[in-house]
Structure 1
Amino acid sequence: MSPRLMFPDPLAAADVLTVSGRAAALGDGNVRLKAANGVLVLSSAPLAPRTLLDTTPTVLGMRAVEVDAELVCDLVVDAAALAADAGDPRAIVLPETARTAPWAGISAPAGGWTRIGTLPASVLAARAQWGIAAVAESMPADPGEDVVHTVRAAVWGESDTALLDVARGCAFAAFALGFIAGEEEVAVRTAGPWTRLSFVRGHVLVRGSRPPGLGPVRSTGSSGSL
Protein backbone atom coordinates (compact mmCIF):
# COMPACT_ATOMS: atom_id res chain seq x y z
CA MET A 1 0.00 0.00 0.00
CA SER A 2 1.19 3.51 -0.73
CA PRO A 3 2.67 5.33 2.28
CA ARG A 4 0.35 8.23 1.46
CA LEU A 5 -3.38 8.89 1.37
CA MET A 6 -4.43 10.89 -1.68
CA PHE A 7 -7.44 13.22 -1.53
CA PRO A 8 -9.28 15.11 -4.28
CA ASP A 9 -8.20 18.51 -2.93
CA PRO A 10 -6.13 20.11 -0.15
CA LEU A 11 -9.23 20.94 1.89
CA ALA A 12 -10.14 17.26 2.28
CA ALA A 13 -6.60 16.41 3.39
CA ALA A 14 -6.58 19.30 5.86
CA ASP A 15 -9.94 18.16 7.23
CA VAL A 16 -8.58 14.70 8.01
CA LEU A 17 -5.53 16.18 9.73
CA THR A 18 -7.76 18.43 11.83
CA VAL A 19 -9.96 15.55 13.01
CA SER A 20 -6.99 13.25 13.63
CA GLY A 21 -5.27 16.02 15.57
CA ARG A 22 -8.25 16.24 17.87
CA ALA A 23 -8.44 12.44 18.18
CA ALA A 24 -4.77 12.29 19.16
CA ALA A 25 -5.60 13.90 22.50
CA LEU A 26 -8.53 11.55 23.26
CA GLY A 27 -8.73 7.96 24.42
CA ASP A 28 -5.76 5.90 23.30
CA GLY A 29 -4.78 8.44 20.65
CA ASN A 30 -5.29 6.02 17.77
CA VAL A 31 -7.39 6.37 14.62
CA ARG A 32 -8.73 3.69 12.31
CA LEU A 33 -8.47 4.46 8.58
CA LYS A 34 -10.85 2.40 6.45
CA ALA A 35 -11.09 3.25 2.76
CA ALA A 36 -13.09 1.72 -0.10
CA ASN A 37 -15.05 2.94 -3.11
CA GLY A 38 -13.63 6.45 -2.90
CA VAL A 39 -14.59 7.05 0.75
CA LEU A 40 -12.29 7.14 3.76
CA VAL A 41 -13.88 6.61 7.18
CA LEU A 42 -11.76 8.01 9.98
CA SER A 43 -12.70 6.52 13.38
CA SER A 44 -11.48 7.06 16.92
CA ALA A 45 -12.59 6.05 20.41
CA PRO A 46 -12.68 9.03 22.79
CA LEU A 47 -14.02 6.61 25.42
CA ALA A 48 -13.57 2.84 25.70
CA PRO A 49 -13.30 0.29 28.53
CA ARG A 50 -9.83 -0.83 29.53
CA THR A 51 -10.81 -4.14 31.21
CA LEU A 52 -13.70 -6.60 31.15
CA LEU A 53 -15.01 -5.14 34.43
CA ASP A 54 -14.72 -1.55 33.24
CA THR A 55 -18.17 0.08 32.89
CA THR A 56 -16.98 2.83 30.53
CA PRO A 57 -19.08 2.71 27.36
CA THR A 58 -17.46 2.33 23.96
CA VAL A 59 -17.94 5.72 22.27
CA LEU A 60 -16.73 6.06 18.69
CA GLY A 61 -16.38 9.18 16.57
CA MET A 62 -16.52 8.83 12.79
CA ARG A 63 -15.94 11.20 9.89
CA ALA A 64 -16.15 10.25 6.21
CA VAL A 65 -14.31 12.11 3.43
CA GLU A 66 -13.66 11.52 -0.25
CA VAL A 67 -10.38 9.84 -1.09
CA ASP A 68 -8.60 8.27 -4.07
CA ALA A 69 -11.11 5.83 -5.63
CA GLU A 70 -8.43 3.14 -5.97
CA LEU A 71 -7.44 3.21 -2.32
CA VAL A 72 -8.44 0.19 -0.23
CA CYS A 73 -7.15 -0.02 3.33
CA ASP A 74 -8.14 -0.81 6.90
CA LEU A 75 -5.51 -0.01 9.51
CA VAL A 76 -5.05 1.64 12.90
CA VAL A 77 -2.34 4.25 13.36
CA ASP A 78 -1.14 6.81 15.87
CA ALA A 79 -3.31 9.86 15.13
CA ALA A 80 -0.48 12.23 16.00
CA ALA A 81 1.80 10.52 13.46
CA LEU A 82 -0.31 11.47 10.42
CA ALA A 83 1.39 14.34 8.61
CA ALA A 84 0.87 16.65 5.67
CA ASP A 85 2.92 15.90 2.58
CA ALA A 86 5.23 18.85 1.96
CA GLY A 87 5.30 18.06 -1.75
CA ASP A 88 1.56 17.69 -2.32
CA PRO A 89 -1.12 19.43 -0.22
CA ARG A 90 -3.65 16.82 -1.36
CA ALA A 91 -1.74 14.01 0.36
CA ILE A 92 -1.24 12.78 3.92
CA VAL A 93 1.82 10.74 4.86
CA LEU A 94 1.13 7.59 6.87
CA PRO A 95 3.35 6.48 9.77
CA GLU A 96 5.73 3.60 9.11
CA THR A 97 4.05 1.26 11.60
CA ALA A 98 0.45 0.38 12.36
CA ARG A 99 -1.05 -0.15 15.79
CA THR A 100 -3.66 -2.38 17.39
CA ALA A 101 -6.72 -1.18 19.32
CA PRO A 102 -9.43 -3.40 20.84
CA TRP A 103 -12.18 -0.93 19.92
CA ALA A 104 -11.22 -1.10 16.23
CA GLY A 105 -12.57 -4.64 16.09
CA ILE A 106 -16.04 -3.52 17.20
CA SER A 107 -18.39 -2.83 14.31
CA ALA A 108 -21.74 -1.07 14.49
CA PRO A 109 -24.45 -2.48 12.20
CA ALA A 110 -24.59 -1.14 8.64
CA GLY A 111 -28.40 -1.06 8.58
CA GLY A 112 -31.50 -1.56 10.69
CA TRP A 113 -31.32 1.82 12.40
CA THR A 114 -34.51 3.26 13.95
CA ARG A 115 -34.82 6.99 14.55
CA ILE A 116 -35.91 7.73 18.12
CA GLY A 117 -35.66 11.52 18.17
CA THR A 118 -33.50 14.57 17.68
CA LEU A 119 -31.34 16.72 19.94
CA PRO A 120 -30.34 20.36 19.51
CA ALA A 121 -26.57 20.67 19.09
CA SER A 122 -26.63 23.38 21.76
CA VAL A 123 -27.91 20.87 24.33
CA LEU A 124 -25.11 18.46 23.49
CA ALA A 125 -22.54 21.24 23.83
CA ALA A 126 -23.99 22.29 27.19
CA ARG A 127 -23.96 18.74 28.59
CA ALA A 128 -20.38 18.24 27.38
CA GLN A 129 -19.26 21.43 29.11
CA TRP A 130 -21.14 20.43 32.27
CA GLY A 131 -19.40 17.06 32.25
CA ILE A 132 -15.97 18.61 31.75
CA ALA A 133 -16.57 20.80 34.80
CA ALA A 134 -17.89 17.83 36.80
CA VAL A 135 -14.79 15.78 36.02
CA ALA A 136 -12.51 18.64 37.06
CA GLU A 137 -14.39 19.24 40.31
CA SER A 138 -14.36 15.53 41.22
CA MET A 139 -10.62 15.06 40.85
CA PRO A 140 -8.62 14.88 44.07
CA ALA A 141 -5.22 16.49 44.34
CA ASP A 142 -2.53 14.57 42.43
CA PRO A 143 -4.82 11.77 41.20
CA GLY A 144 -3.30 8.63 39.75
CA GLU A 145 -4.22 7.22 36.35
CA ASP A 146 -6.75 4.78 37.83
CA VAL A 147 -8.53 7.53 39.75
CA VAL A 148 -8.70 9.73 36.66
CA HIS A 149 -10.20 6.88 34.66
CA THR A 150 -12.74 6.06 37.38
CA VAL A 151 -13.94 9.65 37.63
CA ARG A 152 -14.19 10.04 33.87
CA ALA A 153 -16.08 6.75 33.54
CA ALA A 154 -18.58 7.82 36.20
CA VAL A 155 -19.31 11.17 34.54
CA TRP A 156 -19.21 10.22 30.87
CA GLY A 157 -20.69 6.75 31.22
CA GLU A 158 -23.87 7.95 32.92
CA SER A 159 -27.10 8.06 30.88
CA ASP A 160 -28.32 11.65 30.64
CA THR A 161 -32.05 12.40 30.57
CA ALA A 162 -31.32 15.64 28.70
CA LEU A 163 -29.80 13.49 25.92
CA LEU A 164 -32.66 11.00 25.49
CA ASP A 165 -30.94 8.75 28.05
CA VAL A 166 -27.84 8.39 25.87
CA ALA A 167 -24.50 8.25 27.67
CA ARG A 168 -23.15 11.72 28.38
CA GLY A 169 -19.87 10.64 26.81
CA CYS A 170 -21.49 11.03 23.38
CA ALA A 171 -21.77 14.76 23.99
CA PHE A 172 -18.14 14.83 25.10
CA ALA A 173 -16.97 12.98 21.97
CA ALA A 174 -18.93 15.27 19.63
CA PHE A 175 -17.63 18.37 21.40
CA ALA A 176 -14.00 17.23 21.59
CA LEU A 177 -13.88 16.07 17.96
CA GLY A 178 -15.30 19.35 16.70
CA PHE A 179 -18.55 17.90 15.36
CA ILE A 180 -20.63 20.56 17.14
CA ALA A 181 -20.50 23.75 15.09
CA GLY A 182 -23.43 26.11 14.94
CA GLU A 183 -27.04 25.16 15.53
CA GLU A 184 -28.44 21.97 14.07
CA GLU A 185 -30.87 19.22 15.02
CA VAL A 186 -28.93 16.00 15.58
CA ALA A 187 -30.73 12.80 14.59
CA VAL A 188 -30.57 10.00 17.18
CA ARG A 189 -30.99 6.42 15.98
CA THR A 190 -30.66 2.98 17.57
CA ALA A 191 -29.86 -0.51 16.29
CA GLY A 192 -29.62 -3.30 18.84
CA PRO A 193 -27.29 -2.15 21.65
CA TRP A 194 -25.97 0.73 19.54
CA THR A 195 -27.03 4.40 19.44
CA ARG A 196 -25.87 6.83 16.75
CA LEU A 197 -25.89 10.63 16.77
CA SER A 198 -25.54 12.10 13.27
CA PHE A 199 -24.06 15.56 12.82
CA VAL A 200 -23.29 17.44 9.64
CA ARG A 201 -19.59 17.00 10.45
CA GLY A 202 -19.64 13.35 11.51
CA HIS A 203 -21.21 10.64 13.64
CA VAL A 204 -20.88 9.55 17.25
CA LEU A 205 -21.78 5.98 18.13
CA VAL A 206 -22.07 4.35 21.52
CA ARG A 207 -22.64 0.75 22.44
CA GLY A 208 -24.73 -0.20 25.43
CA SER A 209 -25.62 3.28 26.73
CA ARG A 210 -29.41 2.88 26.85
CA PRO A 211 -30.97 0.97 29.77
CA PRO A 212 -32.09 -2.55 28.75
CA GLY A 213 -35.71 -2.70 27.62
CA LEU A 214 -36.01 1.05 27.07
CA GLY A 215 -38.16 1.66 24.01
CA PRO A 216 -38.19 4.59 21.59
CA VAL A 217 -38.80 7.98 23.13
CA ARG A 218 -40.66 10.95 21.71
CA SER A 219 -38.60 13.29 19.57
CA THR A 220 -37.58 16.67 20.92
CA GLY A 221 -37.73 18.12 17.42
CA SER A 222 -38.97 17.48 13.92
CA SER A 223 -39.32 13.81 13.15
CA GLY A 224 -38.09 14.20 9.57
CA SER A 225 -37.14 11.15 7.55
CA LEU A 226 -34.87 8.27 8.43
Structure 2
Amino acid sequence: MSHRLRFPDARAAADAATFASRATRLGDGAVRLQASAGTLVMTCAPLAPRGLLDATPTVLGLRATRIDPELETDIVIDGAALVASDEPTELQLPAVALSVAWAGIAPPRAGWTEGVDLDAATVAARAQWGIAAVAETVPRDAGEDAVRAVRARVWGAPDDALAGLPLGTAFAAFGLGFIGGAETVAVRAAGPWTRLTFRRGHVLVRGPVKSGLTPVRVTGSAA
Protein backbone atom coordinates (compact mmCIF):
# COMPACT_ATOMS: atom_id res chain seq x y z
CA MET A 1 0.00 0.00 0.00
CA SER A 2 1.10 3.56 -0.69
CA HIS A 3 2.39 5.50 2.30
CA ARG A 4 0.28 8.47 1.23
CA LEU A 5 -3.40 9.19 0.96
CA ARG A 6 -4.23 10.93 -2.31
CA PHE A 7 -7.33 13.13 -2.45
CA PRO A 8 -9.08 14.72 -5.44
CA ASP A 9 -8.38 18.23 -4.11
CA ALA A 10 -6.72 20.11 -1.27
CA ARG A 11 -10.04 20.72 0.49
CA ALA A 12 -10.72 16.98 0.89
CA ALA A 13 -7.19 16.45 2.21
CA ALA A 14 -7.60 19.27 4.73
CA ASP A 15 -10.96 17.83 5.82
CA ALA A 16 -9.36 14.46 6.58
CA ALA A 17 -6.47 16.10 8.43
CA THR A 18 -8.89 18.14 10.55
CA PHE A 19 -10.85 15.06 11.59
CA ALA A 20 -7.64 13.20 12.53
CA SER A 21 -6.42 16.20 14.54
CA ARG A 22 -9.67 16.38 16.52
CA ALA A 23 -9.60 12.63 17.10
CA THR A 24 -6.18 12.91 18.76
CA ARG A 25 -7.70 15.04 21.52
CA LEU A 26 -10.43 12.51 22.29
CA GLY A 27 -10.25 8.92 23.47
CA ASP A 28 -7.17 6.94 22.50
CA GLY A 29 -6.35 9.10 19.46
CA ALA A 30 -6.54 6.18 17.03
CA VAL A 31 -8.26 6.58 13.64
CA ARG A 32 -9.51 3.78 11.42
CA LEU A 33 -9.13 4.43 7.68
CA GLN A 34 -11.37 2.45 5.32
CA ALA A 35 -11.00 3.36 1.65
CA SER A 36 -13.02 1.83 -1.17
CA ALA A 37 -14.62 2.98 -4.45
CA GLY A 38 -13.43 6.57 -4.06
CA THR A 39 -14.67 7.08 -0.49
CA LEU A 40 -12.58 7.28 2.67
CA VAL A 41 -14.43 6.48 5.90
CA MET A 42 -12.57 7.73 8.97
CA THR A 43 -13.64 6.43 12.38
CA CYS A 44 -12.44 7.22 15.90
CA ALA A 45 -13.62 6.35 19.41
CA PRO A 46 -14.00 9.43 21.62
CA LEU A 47 -15.24 7.04 24.31
CA ALA A 48 -14.59 3.32 24.75
CA PRO A 49 -14.19 1.00 27.75
CA ARG A 50 -10.80 -0.24 28.87
CA GLY A 51 -11.28 -3.52 30.65
CA LEU A 52 -14.31 -5.49 31.84
CA LEU A 53 -15.06 -3.23 34.82
CA ASP A 54 -14.94 0.02 32.84
CA ALA A 55 -18.49 1.46 32.49
CA THR A 56 -17.52 3.89 29.70
CA PRO A 57 -19.88 3.47 26.72
CA THR A 58 -18.55 2.76 23.23
CA VAL A 59 -19.13 5.96 21.24
CA LEU A 60 -17.66 6.30 17.75
CA GLY A 61 -17.29 9.31 15.46
CA LEU A 62 -17.40 8.80 11.69
CA ARG A 63 -16.58 11.12 8.83
CA ALA A 64 -16.54 10.30 5.09
CA THR A 65 -14.66 12.16 2.38
CA ARG A 66 -13.53 11.60 -1.20
CA ILE A 67 -10.30 9.74 -1.91
CA ASP A 68 -8.31 8.34 -4.83
CA PRO A 69 -10.68 5.71 -6.35
CA GLU A 70 -7.77 3.30 -6.82
CA LEU A 71 -7.04 3.16 -3.09
CA GLU A 72 -8.33 0.13 -1.18
CA THR A 73 -7.33 -0.10 2.48
CA ASP A 74 -8.54 -0.79 6.01
CA ILE A 75 -6.01 0.18 8.68
CA VAL A 76 -5.90 1.86 12.10
CA ILE A 77 -3.32 4.58 12.70
CA ASP A 78 -2.33 7.15 15.29
CA GLY A 79 -4.31 10.24 14.28
CA ALA A 80 -1.43 12.50 15.24
CA ALA A 81 0.81 10.68 12.74
CA LEU A 82 -1.37 11.54 9.73
CA VAL A 83 0.51 14.64 8.60
CA ALA A 84 0.66 17.00 5.65
CA SER A 85 2.74 16.05 2.63
CA ASP A 86 4.66 18.22 0.20
CA GLU A 87 1.59 18.00 -2.03
CA PRO A 88 -1.55 19.82 -0.80
CA THR A 89 -3.75 16.98 -2.09
CA GLU A 90 -1.91 14.28 -0.12
CA LEU A 91 -1.42 13.23 3.50
CA GLN A 92 1.52 11.19 4.74
CA LEU A 93 0.65 7.90 6.46
CA PRO A 94 2.68 6.58 9.41
CA ALA A 95 4.81 3.49 8.86
CA VAL A 96 3.21 1.62 11.77
CA ALA A 97 -0.42 0.54 12.11
CA LEU A 98 -2.27 0.13 15.42
CA SER A 99 -4.58 -2.49 16.87
CA VAL A 100 -7.50 -1.26 18.97
CA ALA A 101 -10.41 -3.22 20.43
CA TRP A 102 -13.17 -0.87 19.25
CA ALA A 103 -12.23 -1.35 15.57
CA GLY A 104 -13.45 -4.94 15.83
CA ILE A 105 -17.06 -3.99 16.65
CA ALA A 106 -18.04 -2.00 13.57
CA PRO A 107 -21.69 -0.90 13.25
CA PRO A 108 -23.80 -2.31 10.39
CA ARG A 109 -23.91 -0.62 6.98
CA ALA A 110 -27.62 -1.28 6.43
CA GLY A 111 -30.81 -2.11 8.30
CA TRP A 112 -31.23 1.19 10.11
CA THR A 113 -34.72 2.15 11.26
CA GLU A 114 -35.98 5.65 11.87
CA GLY A 115 -36.35 7.08 15.36
CA VAL A 116 -36.99 10.43 17.00
CA ASP A 117 -35.02 13.45 15.80
CA LEU A 118 -32.96 15.77 17.99
CA ASP A 119 -32.06 19.44 17.72
CA ALA A 120 -28.35 20.19 17.26
CA ALA A 121 -28.53 23.06 19.75
CA THR A 122 -29.77 20.63 22.42
CA VAL A 123 -26.91 18.24 21.68
CA ALA A 124 -24.38 21.09 21.98
CA ALA A 125 -25.89 22.31 25.26
CA ARG A 126 -25.79 18.83 26.80
CA ALA A 127 -22.15 18.40 25.74
CA GLN A 128 -21.18 21.65 27.41
CA TRP A 129 -23.08 20.68 30.57
CA GLY A 130 -21.23 17.35 30.68
CA ILE A 131 -17.83 18.95 30.18
CA ALA A 132 -18.53 21.28 33.11
CA ALA A 133 -19.78 18.38 35.24
CA VAL A 134 -16.60 16.38 34.63
CA ALA A 135 -14.40 19.39 35.43
CA GLU A 136 -16.29 20.08 38.68
CA THR A 137 -16.35 16.44 39.82
CA VAL A 138 -12.77 15.32 39.18
CA PRO A 139 -10.80 15.71 42.44
CA ARG A 140 -7.71 17.89 42.46
CA ASP A 141 -4.55 15.88 41.71
CA ALA A 142 -6.70 12.87 40.78
CA GLY A 143 -5.01 9.86 39.20
CA GLU A 144 -5.91 8.39 35.81
CA ASP A 145 -8.22 5.76 37.31
CA ALA A 146 -10.20 8.37 39.24
CA VAL A 147 -10.54 10.57 36.16
CA ARG A 148 -11.75 7.65 34.04
CA ALA A 149 -14.30 6.70 36.72
CA VAL A 150 -15.76 10.21 36.72
CA ARG A 151 -15.83 10.37 32.92
CA ALA A 152 -17.53 6.98 32.71
CA ARG A 153 -20.17 8.04 35.22
CA VAL A 154 -20.92 11.38 33.51
CA TRP A 155 -20.68 10.38 29.86
CA GLY A 156 -22.29 6.99 30.34
CA ALA A 157 -25.43 8.32 32.02
CA PRO A 158 -28.63 8.18 29.92
CA ASP A 159 -29.86 11.68 29.16
CA ASP A 160 -33.56 12.49 28.75
CA ALA A 161 -32.79 15.45 26.48
CA LEU A 162 -31.01 13.02 24.14
CA ALA A 163 -33.88 10.51 24.05
CA GLY A 164 -32.16 8.32 26.62
CA LEU A 165 -28.85 8.05 24.79
CA PRO A 166 -25.65 8.31 26.85
CA LEU A 167 -24.51 11.88 27.40
CA GLY A 168 -21.25 10.83 25.72
CA THR A 169 -22.93 10.99 22.32
CA ALA A 170 -23.15 14.76 22.73
CA PHE A 171 -19.53 14.91 23.89
CA ALA A 172 -18.38 13.09 20.74
CA ALA A 173 -20.38 15.30 18.38
CA PHE A 174 -19.17 18.47 20.06
CA GLY A 175 -15.52 17.41 20.32
CA LEU A 176 -15.32 16.32 16.69
CA GLY A 177 -16.80 19.58 15.41
CA PHE A 178 -19.93 17.99 13.98
CA ILE A 179 -22.23 20.67 15.39
CA GLY A 180 -22.02 23.62 13.05
CA GLY A 181 -25.23 25.59 13.38
CA ALA A 182 -28.96 24.95 13.41
CA GLU A 183 -29.98 21.54 12.09
CA THR A 184 -32.15 18.57 12.88
CA VAL A 185 -30.18 15.50 13.87
CA ALA A 186 -31.63 12.24 12.57
CA VAL A 187 -31.50 9.31 15.00
CA ARG A 188 -31.51 5.75 13.61
CA ALA A 189 -31.20 2.33 15.26
CA ALA A 190 -29.88 -1.06 14.12
CA GLY A 191 -29.54 -3.88 16.64
CA PRO A 192 -27.44 -2.66 19.59
CA TRP A 193 -26.32 0.44 17.68
CA THR A 194 -27.82 3.93 17.52
CA ARG A 195 -26.61 6.54 15.01
CA LEU A 196 -26.89 10.32 15.12
CA THR A 197 -26.44 11.92 11.69
CA PHE A 198 -25.14 15.48 11.40
CA ARG A 199 -24.28 17.32 8.20
CA ARG A 200 -20.60 17.06 9.16
CA GLY A 201 -20.51 13.42 10.27
CA HIS A 202 -22.05 10.64 12.34
CA VAL A 203 -21.91 9.62 15.99
CA LEU A 204 -22.63 5.98 16.83
CA VAL A 205 -23.21 4.48 20.24
CA ARG A 206 -23.34 0.78 21.08
CA GLY A 207 -25.60 -0.49 23.80
CA PRO A 208 -29.19 -0.29 25.08
CA VAL A 209 -31.07 3.00 25.22
CA LYS A 210 -32.28 3.47 28.79
CA SER A 211 -35.40 5.53 28.18
CA GLY A 212 -36.72 3.46 25.29
CA LEU A 213 -35.79 4.99 21.94
CA THR A 214 -38.44 2.95 20.13
CA PRO A 215 -38.07 3.23 16.33
CA VAL A 216 -40.95 5.32 14.94
CA ARG A 217 -41.40 7.09 11.64
CA VAL A 218 -41.57 10.78 12.50
CA THR A 219 -40.11 14.00 11.16
CA GLY A 220 -39.09 17.25 12.81
CA SER A 221 -37.51 17.88 16.16
CA ALA A 222 -38.51 16.02 19.27
CA ALA A 223 -40.52 18.11 21.71
Q: Give TM-score, length-normalised by structure 2.
A: 0.96
Q: Paired residue for 2:32?
A: 32
Aligned in 2, Cα 1:174/1:214: closer, same or farther, shift over 3 Å?
Answer: closer
Alignment pair present for 1:186 and 2:185? yes
- Give identity over the alignment, percent: 60
* Structure 1 outlier segments of 4+, above 4 Å: 217-220
Asked if 1:135 corresponds to 2:134, the answer is yes
Q: Is the 8 A contact 1:167 1:209 kept in 2?
A: no
Aligned to 2:110: 111
Can you list the C-alpha shifts for 1:44-94, whole angstroms capped at 9, x where unaligned?
0000000122221100000000000010000000000111112x1000000
> What CA distance in whole angstroms lies between the structure 2 residues aligned with 1:212 and 1:71?
42
The answer to whether the Cα contact below 8 Å between 1:157 and 1:209 also exists between their aligned partners in 2 is no
Q: How far does residue 216 in structure 1 lie from its aligned partner after superposition?
A: 3.4
Could you tell me whether the CA contact under 8 Å between 2:48 and 2:57 is conserved in 1?
yes
Q: Normalising by the residue count of structure 1, what TM-score does the alignment of the two structures yield?
A: 0.94
Q: How many residues align?
A: 222
- Runs (5+) with no aligned partner, structure 2: none
**2:116 aligns to what SS in structure 1?**
strand
**Cα distance in 1, alignment partners of residues 133 and 150 from structure 2:** 9
Post-superposition offset of 1:221: 2.1
1:212, distance to aligned residue in structure 2 (A):
8.6
Conserved? CA contact 1:48–1:103, under 8 Å:
yes
For residues 214 and 99 of structure 1, the distance between their equivalents in structure 2, rounded to whole angstroms, comes to 35
Q: Which whole-Å CA distance do the structure 1 matches of 2:61 and 2:73 have between them? A: 19
Deviations along 1:205-224, one digit per CA (max 9) or x if unpaired, are 0000413965336858269x
Structure 2 counterpart of 1:49? 49
| Alignment-derived partner of residue 93 in structure 2 | 94
- Identify which range, 128-137 or 208-217, moves more after superposition: 208-217
- 1:18-64 alpha-carbon deviations (Å, 9 max, x no partner): 11000001111100000001000000000000012222110000000
Query: Partner of 1:221 in structure 2?
Result: 220
Matches within 5 A, 1:60-79: 60-79=60-79
- What residue in structure 2 maps to residue 126 of structure 1? 125
Q: In structure 2, the residue corresponding to 1:98 is in which secondary structure?
A: coil
Counterpart Cα distance in 1 of 2:176 and 2:198: 11
Contact 2:164 2:212 in 1 (8 A): no
Structure 1, gaps ≥5 residues long: none
